[in-house]
Amino acid sequence: MSLLTFDTLIKNGFVVDGAGNPWFKADIGVSKGRIAKISRAGITKGEKTIDAQGLVVAPGFIDIHTHSDLTLLINPKAESKILQGVTTEVVGNCGSSAAPVDRKTLNHLKEEWGPEAKAVKWNWSSMGDYLNRLENQGVSMNVASFVGHGTVRTAVIGVENRKPTTKELKAMKTLVAESMKEGAFGLSSGLVYLPGCFAETEELIELCKVVAEYGGIYTSHTRGERETIVQALKEAIEIGEKAHVPVQVSHNCPKYGAQGKFNEQSKIYEAARARGMDVTFDNDAHTDFNPNLSNVLPQWAQTGGSQKLVSRLKNPEIRQQIRKEILEDKFPGPGYSGLVKHGRWDRIFLFKCKKNKNLIGKSIREIAKSRCADPFDVYFDLIIEEKGEASALFNYIEENDIRTVLKHPLMMICSDGEATASYGVLGKINGYSPCSYGEYPYILERYVREEKVLSLHEAIRKMSSFPAQKLGLKDRGLLKEGMCADITIFDFNAVKDRATNRFPYSFPLSNFPHKYPEGIRYVLVNGEIVVENGKHKGILSGRILRHNVGKATEN
């Protein structure tokens, strides 16, 4: 029996430590933001006691792949993520980080970020400034950032489709080095997006060599997630091998057009590991996404804003060219564009638009039928009619692939979502975002409890210590004495995602709610109880995590 008095005492829980071990029963004493004591013999004294009888006590989840860079500035309470039990949010993914910013190209960067960019005051320039701004403002969860290759490229050469000159490449390397010095955990790339798609492999190798000097990692939304998924994976690994930097492949589940290809990917992963290459990957478990309709078009057709896009689609020759390029896969399209290429118009649903509100929820196939028109033309016409401002729901991933990927030993769990909330500015911007509201509860509810694809302790490991190890976070991701007290306490039998509508969808859109999950009872961030009885208390106890700052390059 310990005689110490702890700040917070968590009693009688089933402790799942995050290392992949099955639960054990113990009390946990938290003091000064750290896990001070874990005892099977029981602890009695705490300023505050949480009765975790019947509940699972796990490390706070570490979400290695998110896009919350700007939303955390808009709403530091981060409800949609922290109410899922996520205590560390890793931003700067898919080539897009909030910094570094160059005033001359800021408008391009804002365009890449979309509507959120309008809701923040861009008063930072370097990675260090951005992290300081977050820190000064305060935030409910811990935040770590990668520096985005697309952001760096934008700062130096805008969105031009060309190789950087020697001087420009040097400037890009300097920005990566500065960002690493100021706390970035590595470099991310998004090679199907503007402007990342314009970069050749060599450019990424050169930038990753800088990351290697600082002990960071390279994380990539690869150059293809459909027919070319294997080739694209090989490129990501090649970059890591040539630059001597560990690789994390982002959301690497095969998308429509590559269904069932994961076995091939798995062989590539295993062969790379056998050669001594540190490569791992992450994935989320949602099968759909709601991008702007124009995002499936070749990048050249999207450049220059919606007016230019619309006039291109009105020109029959250009329109024909765009269609041809989509069908022939002439450009690195995003995963969901596979539905367009393969004519799966039955799996694309009009989601947000202004003019054709009566068609919301209808598939492109249905709309084409009612207009007695070719679905491809209807798709382009909708972009014209909506002046480039319409989005659709693409159901583009097979659940069976998700199950296969979840079980892979090199896979860790991420959301690919963002911290948001159902009210305020973010509530207005909100699209369909089940992964932002329910990713972790969804996996626990469906793939652990219902389908038993993963054991509970294996799922928790993939949500905590595994991403911590990849990032080089030494004091988070495990329930162990001395670790930071990031702790999630939940009722495994009651945990429930309320934001996901399983396919086939039931419209109307009121069935796509921005609702927080059930069953996540308490969330502690750095020892402070941020969520109590499922309610956010408004506490901003997150820390800004800076890789390697003030340390030698030891990671």
Q: Would you tell me which residues interact with Zn ion (CB under 5 A)?
A: 94, 221
Q: Which is nearer to Zn ion, 199 or 367 (CB)?
A: 199
Residues 2 and 17: beta-carbon distance below 8 Å? no
**In angstroms, what is the minimal distance from the CB of 64 to Zn ion?**
12
The pair phi, psi for residue 219, each rounded to 5°, is: -125, 135
Q: Which is nearer to Zn ion, 193 or 269 (CB)?
A: 193
**In angstroms, what is the minimal distance from the CB of 401 to Zn ion?**
16
Q: Which is nearer to Zn ion, 221 or 347 (CB)?
A: 221
Q: Which is nearer to Zn ion, 94 or 297 (CB)?
A: 94
314 CB neighbour count, 10 Å cutoff? 12
Residues 123 and 69: beta-carbon distance below 8 Å? no
Q: What is d(CA 137, CA 72) in angstroms, rounded to the nearest whole number?
A: 10
Q: Which is nearer to Zn ion, 336 or 440 (CB)?
A: 336
**In angstroms, what is the minimal distance from the CB of 338 to Zn ion?**
15
**In angstroms, what is the minimal distance from the CB of 196 to Zn ion?**
10
- Residue 496 DSSP SS3: strand
**In angstroms, what is the minimal distance from the CB of 419 to Zn ion?**
16
Q: What is d(CA 551, CA 203) in angstroms, rounded to the nearest whole number?
A: 28
Q: How many CA atoms lie within 13 A of 350 on its CB side?
A: 28
Residues 130 and 175: beta-carbon distance below 8 Å? no
Q: What is d(CA 4, CA 2) in angstroms, rounded to the nearest whole number?
A: 6
Q: What is the 3-state secondary structure (H, E, C) of 324-338?
A: HHHHCCCCCCCHHHH
Q: What is d(CA 8, CA 32) in angstroms, rounded to the nearest whole number?
A: 9
Amino acid at 207: L
**In angstroms, what is the minimal distance from the CB of 236 to Zn ion?**
12
Sequence-separated (6 or more) residues with CB below 8 Å from residue 65: 90, 93, 219, 250, 251, 282, 284, 414, 415, 416
**In angstroms, what is the minimal distance from the CB of 203 to Zn ion?**
19
Question: What long-range pairs does 202-207 form, CB within 8 A, spacing at least 24?
Answer: 203/163, 203/164, 203/169, 203/172, 204/149, 204/239, 204/243, 205/238, 205/239, 205/242, 205/243, 206/169, 206/173, 206/243, 207/149, 207/152, 207/172, 207/173, 207/176
**In angstroms, what is the minimal distance from the CB of 94 to Zn ion?**
4
Q: Which is nearer to Zn ion, 81 or 221 (CB)?
A: 221
**In angstroms, what is the minimal distance from the CB of 251 to Zn ion?**
6
Q: Which is nearer to Zn ion, 291 or 424 (CB)?
A: 291
Across the beta sheet with 61-63, the strand order is: 61-63, 86-91, 142-145
Q: Which is nearer to Zn ion, 206 or 416 (CB)?
A: 416
**In angstroms, what is the minimal distance from the CB of 416 to Zn ion?**
6
Across the beta sheet with 217-221, the strand order is: 147-148, 186-190, 217-221, 247-249, 279-283, 411-413
Q: Which is nearer to Zn ion, 94 or 426 (CB)?
A: 94
**In angstroms, what is the minimal distance from the CB of 457 to Zn ion?**
28
Dihedral sign computed on CA atoms, order 399, 233, 175, 167: negative
Q: Which is nearer to Zn ion, 78 or 94 (CB)?
A: 94
Amino acid at 294: S
Q: Which is nearer to Zn ion, 250 or 404 (CB)?
A: 250
Q: What is d(CA 456, CA 196) in angstroms, rounded to the nearest whole number?
A: 37
Q: What is the DSSP string of 74-102?
A: H-TT-HHHHTTTEEEEEE--TT--S----
